[in-house]
Amino acid sequence: MVATASNTQIRIATIGSVDDGKSTLIGRLLHDSKGIFEDQLSAIGRASKKYGDGSFNLALLTDGLRAEREQGITIDVAYRYFATPNRSFVLADTPGHVQFTRNMVTGASVSDVAIVLVDARHGVVEQTRRHVSIAALLRVSHLVLAVNKMDLVEWREDVFDAIVTDVGAILESIGSRVPLRPIPVSASNGDNVVESSPNTPWYEGPTVLGLLETLDIRADESSAAVLPVQWVNRVHGGSDYRGFAGTLHGGAIRVGDQVVVQSKGITTAVTSVRVAGSPADLAVPGDAIAVELADQVDVGRGDVIVGSGAPAPVVAAHIEADICWLGETDLRVGDRLVLRHLSRDVTGSVVAIGQRLDLGTLTAEDAEVLTLNDIAKVEIALDRPITATTYAQGRVTGSIVAIDPVSNGTVGALMITDAR
Amino acid sequence: MTMFADDTRDVSASRSHLDRLEAEAISIIREVTAGVDSPVLLFSGGKDSAVLLWLAVRAFRPARVPFPVMHVDTGHNFDEVIAYRDALVSEFGLELVVASVQKSIDDGRIADPGPTGSRNRQQAVTLLDAIKEHKFDAAFGGGRRDEDKARAKERILSFRDRTGAWEPRAQRPEPWNVLNPRIAKGEHLRAFPLSNWTELDVWEYIEREQVPLPSIYFSHRREVVHRGGMLLAIGGPVVAEVGEKVSVETVRYRTVGDMSCTGAVRSDATTHREIIDEVAASRITERGATRADDQFSESAMEDRKREGYF
């Protein structure tokens, strides 16, 4: 596996039900690690007087929209950035309300780690199950369970243990093996967030920050090199340059490599590589590159250049996927969707819907209709083939975004489980 | 100023977090360029737009940047910034569109805030008019989420309806950073390739790449007046009022904007490294330190964005 920057920068999403303390935990992390500027602190102080009981409200650091402050809730993802000497962090604070689940999916889909907040007084609720299920399906590398407001249950270990068991059961029910890292905290008081708490002598693990600084983030699973062509850089005249530009996934590409242009099935070789515009001998996953090819082949946006390595993506017109339905209107068998996969948009028809997750009972049930925020399995027949891996083989090469062909709205997030 | 050499990148496999941010930004620039009919890059002459332009050059090299750059000109410019803009445009062979706030005032599209008033807010009207006139359907901006709490909420692609307004409650989800740039006729979008960069990242990238900047970012001596808690440069729209004392100070700028509301900071930093050390040690955000217009109200930025601001 080639080295990447993923262990120096880590992307984190806070998830969980409304009022369980996600925004407060992020505020506490930033505050105690000196990630808040003085003018921001004084602005929060002023806003705390306006919107609350006057006590300093750390959540106002990320709840930046007027409607959020007025209602005391998070509507959309807020992104915050801070660094310690060991790592830099991108924090996505996602909303807990069920009607804003699409925003939670956005925040969690690119995160290495999800921190699920659970209010110790209320335990696991339906929205906890929904968020934990989605984070697991999105394949975060680690799930940190912050059992919050422990001060309000007298720091009882049995309360903590029961919640850890319940969250473990959610993961088990959907067959996820994501490592679970439970920590008892009080976000508003700071216990076990940056500083170890004297209130939890029975807990010997790290603080939230201590854990985030040391977690080993696995790189995206390696596969064949996959270069979706976004654009062709062309210089006419003297040099006659034709560079097929895109972001590389899965594996490395070198000058001289044999590649196959899909879905056309043409074999050729790489004659030059540019990484971020500069000539290079080698490109690694995550690089924005452009390659020239040996033969005058017809390659354009939407095509995929595949290098050596395994597993290779398959050219497929029939896919099965886990879906998070984010549309305001229902999804039914027979519906037509625009499906954006890598740099290609194809249309497709829903052939079958099944296994909708009942978040009350954590059982899968048959379904013919999906409504907003449902999680289910779906089968889709595509009008044109895509070149894809499963989501387990690659987060980018195995994901599809569904777009409503009439409204142009983004209505679904799909994780491919089978492509043929 | 010289265009960067066709350097060969380090062939080792290790990548820094700046490399990761650079790749993400280039990917966004290419994707939006391919996904819309007529993009434009908003160029203020500030450090963020300088980095944005640099990344656009890298995205398409050795080909030319396949879209024009647009400067929304408040008329309250630092001379150094206009000289810099013109040199850069000529160096990279870019097409420059200038949208003039003064012309919007002359045409009666916006009220004249007076010779000394800030024209920052009025820019939105000029910008939207220019987007309509030139039929642009996407505008790249150098906005970063770490700048302001409303920006922290904005997606990489920000949709604007026929009036140019931003509706924060109806943003499109962007799972896996997959962008959906589809729009209806008359709508347009703003794209923010630097969304995940911090001020420090921008400076470290500028140092690494030796991105050319206007000279006012570096320490220099300048006549200033203290006004509203800020150090404002004397010149253009800024004249000393009765009772104000003009002094010569050693200063530099952390942002570049309308002269009448962009404050200088006292600084001896003359090199990239000295600026990076200063930024890393700062306890105040760049906008908090130097932008009077963001301090009017608690949601100043959100209000302006809803009106069509960047």
Residue A359 pLDDT: 79
Cβ(A400)–Cβ(A326) below 8 Å: no
Residue B6: pLDDT over 80: no
Spatial distance between the Cα atoms of A395 and B179, rounded to a whole number of angstroms: 15
Percentage above 70 pLDDT, chain B: 84
- Whether the CA torsion A290, A291, A296, A298 is positive or negative: it is negative
Phi first, then psi, for residue A337 (nearest 5°) are: -135, 150
Closest-CA residue of B relative to A277 is: B58
Residues B207-221: tens digit of each pLDDT: 999 999 999 999 999
Spatial distance between the Cα atoms of B241 and B176, rounded to a whole number of angstroms: 53
- In three-state secondary structure terms, A51 is helix
Closest chain A C-alpha to B199 CA, distance in angstroms: 10
A290 vs B239, higher pLDDT: A290
- pLDDT mean over B104-123: 71
Residue A2 pLDDT: 34
Walk me through the domains of chain A, giving residue ranges and CATH numbers.
Answer: 5-214 (3.40.50.300), 243-306 (2.40.30.10), 314-419 (2.40.30.10)
Q: Hey, is the C-beta of B172 within 8 angstroms of any chain A C-beta?
A: yes
Spatial distance between the Cα atoms of B66 and B15, rounded to a whole number of angstroms: 28
Name residue, tokens 């002269």: B259
The residues pairing with A357 across neighbouring beta strands, listed in sequence order, are A364
Closest chain B C-alpha to A80 CA, distance in angstroms: 7
CB contact (8 A) between residue B22 and residue A233? no
**Using 50, 70 and 90 to split pLDDT, how confident is the model at B296?**
very low
Please calculate the CA angle A128-A134-A139 and round it to the nearest 5 degrees: 125
Q: What is the mean pLDDT of each run of 10 residues along chain A (420 residues)?
A: 52 87 85 70 68 66 65 71 82 80 87 95 93 93 96 97 96 93 95 95 95 81 89 86 96 95 94 96 95 92 93 95 94 97 96 89 88 94 97 93 94 95
CB contact (8 A) between residue B285 and residue A40? yes
- Percent of chain A as helix, strand, coil, to the nearest 5: 20, 35, 40
- List all residues of chain B from 230 to 289 with a beta carbon under 8 Å from chain A: 282-285, 288-289
Which of B26, B145, B150 is opposite residue A288, by nearest beta carbon?
B26
CB contact (8 A) between residue B302 and residue A66? yes
Residue B212 pLDDT: 92
**Using 50, 70 and 90 to split pLDDT, how confident is the model at B291?**
low
B263 vs A169, higher pLDDT: A169
- In three-state secondary structure terms, B53 is helix
Spatial distance between the Cα atoms of A324 and A326, rounded to a whole number of angstroms: 6
Residue A250 pLDDT: 92
Residue B243 pLDDT: 82
Cβ(B53)–Cβ(B229) below 8 Å: no
Residue A390 pLDDT: 95
B11 vs A43, higher pLDDT: A43
Spatial distance between the Cα atoms of B73 and B77, rounded to a whole number of angstroms: 8
CB contact (8 A) between residue A106 and residue B23? no
Q: Which residues does chain A have within 8 Å of residue B284's beta carbon, measured at their own beta carbons?
A: 37-39
CB contact (8 A) between residue A408 and residue B184? yes
Q: Hey, is the C-beta of B63 within 8 angstroms of any chain A C-beta?
A: yes
Among B197, B189, B174, B154, CA closest to B52 = B197
Residue B234 pLDDT: 83
Architecture of domain B17-202+300-306: 3-Layer(aba) Sandwich (3.40)
H-helix or E-strand containing A166? Answer: helix A157-173
Residue B112 pLDDT: 74
Q: What is the DSSP letter of A250?
A: S
- In three-state secondary structure terms, A222 is coil
Average pLDDT for chain B = 83
Q: Most A CBs within 10 Å: which of B8, B24, B30, as the mutation test of the A interface? A: B30
Phi first, then psi, for residue B72 (nearest 5°) are: -85, 105
Residue A88 pLDDT: 83
ipTM at complex level: 0.88
Outline where A191-267 has alpha helix (H): 208-214
Domain edges within chain B:
17-202+300-306, 214-294
Residue B285: pLDDT over 80: no
Residues B26-85: tens digit of each pLDDT: 999 999 999 999 999 999 888 999 999 999 999 999 999 999 999 988 888 888 899 999
Residue B12 pLDDT: 62
A73 vs B265, higher pLDDT: B265
CB contact set of B34 (below 8 Å; sequence gap of 6+): A230, A231, A301, A343
Q: Hey, is the C-beta of B183 within 8 angstroms of any chain A C-beta?
A: yes
Which of A9, A80, A282 is opposite residue B13, by nearest beta carbon?
A282
B149 vs A340, higher pLDDT: A340
**Using 50, 70 and 90 to split pLDDT, how confident is the model at B118?**
low
Closest chain B C-alpha to A280 CA, distance in angstroms: 6
Spatial distance between the Cα atoms of B273 and B160, rounded to a whole number of angstroms: 38
pTM for the predicted model, two decimal places: 0.88
- List all residues of chain B from 120 to 159 with a beta carbon under 8 Å from chain A: 145-146, 148-150, 152-153, 155
**Out of A304-308, B118-122, B255-259, which region has the weakest mean confidence (pLDDT)?**
B118-122
